[in-house]
Amino acid sequence: MKPDFCRTHSGLVQSHLHSANFAQPKFEDHHMSLKEPQKQEWFETWFDTPYYHILYDHRDDKEAEQFLNALLNHLQLPPESTVLDAACGNGRYSIFLANKGFNVVGIDLSWKNIQHAGNFESENLTFYLHDMREMFYVNYFDAVFNFFTSFGYFSSEKDNLKAIRSLSNSLKPGGRLVIDFFNSEKIVREIIPLQDFDKNNIQFTIKKSLELNRDESAPRVMVKKIFVRDHGKQFEFEERVQALTLKNFEHYFNMHHLKLREVFGDYHLHPFDPQNSERMILVAEKIL
């Protein structure tokens, strides 16, 4: 039986499942002093804009389907396994997984993404507005997926560890975590500082750079500044993704009961080569 979830006034998902396996949500004392509103993170605004979807509309659905078929064939998950698509975006991968017969939950912190994905909900597919750094289900999923460089957005090592802890806690013992990340060594080495192009009669200027992290203990950050000119209107957005390496992920996994089992270098699941691979696809297993 699926946990009974509801949306709170804050837009986050809270659980009403009373189970020893689930960490009950904690509510702050309303008499405590209120903090000043914090500035939104870049990913809390950029993903909700139409320009994000225009910029990345080149993503190949056929390639994504081939990748998932190869990955599922490799993982050999039992029929009707329960899986989590963490940072699910508009639900593309979640829908594919559900069509394969799995019981799928998708989470994302973009309200517009979840609204869109919700149109495709079914008996074995549900979506929730949720930040993957926060506790969700516990000991519940057979597999957790994090696709298309949907990690490393945070500004601190603490947040990276919180996210890995949450994803690990959501897995059953023996469950597997798959993180599809870019190969930062190759990306850093081949960075293109400036690009100008038009898409859908909208002009984009992309400026890329590598910066030190505000958290000195965290890896450097790949910064992509996105300038948009749309029929006389100008907008500026930013992406900030930590240049995480295999060593970084191994450290996070070791901290939270995960054992790295395999690393692939592309969507055909060829072995990972730090110098030449386009992707770094990690498969870890939850161990006791």
Between CA 278 and CA 15, with CA 85 as vertex, the angle to 5 degrees is 150
pLDDT tens by residue, the chain, 288 residues: 344 333 332 333 433 222 223 333 332 333 333 334 456 787 777 888 899 889 987 666 888 899 999 999 999 999 999 999 999 999 999 999 999 999 999 999 999 999 999 999 999 999 999 999 999 999 999 999 999 999 988 878 999 999 999 999 999 999 999 999 999 999 999 999 999 999 999 999 999 999 987 777 778 899 999 999 999 999 999 999 999 999 999 999 999 999 999 999 999 999 999 999 999 999 999 998
Residue 203 lies in a domain: no
CB atoms within 10 A of CB 32: 7
Predicted local confidence at residue 123, as pLDDT: 97
CA dihedral 40, 46, 49, 51 (to 10 degrees): 160
The CATH number covering residue 254 comes to 3.40.50.150
Domain with 277, as residue range(s), is: 58-182+244-286
Residue 217 lies in a domain: no
Residue 154 lies in a domain: yes
Residue 18 lies in a domain: no
Residue 22 lies in a domain: no
Structure tokens at 87: 């940072």
d(CA 185, CA 279): 10
Predicted local confidence at residue 11, as pLDDT: 35
Structure tokens at 217: 């203990």
Tokens 């090592």 correspond to 157
User: How many domains are contained in the chain?
Assistant: 1
Q: What is the 3-state secondary structure (H, E, C) of 67-135?
A: HHHHHHHHHCCCCCCEEEEECCCCCHHHHHHHHCCCEEEEEECCHHHHHHHHCCCECCEEEEECCCCCC
Predicted local confidence at residue 219, as pLDDT: 84
Residue 120 lies in a domain: yes
Residue 207 lies in a domain: no
Residue 209 lies in a domain: no
Predicted local confidence at residue 58, as pLDDT: 67
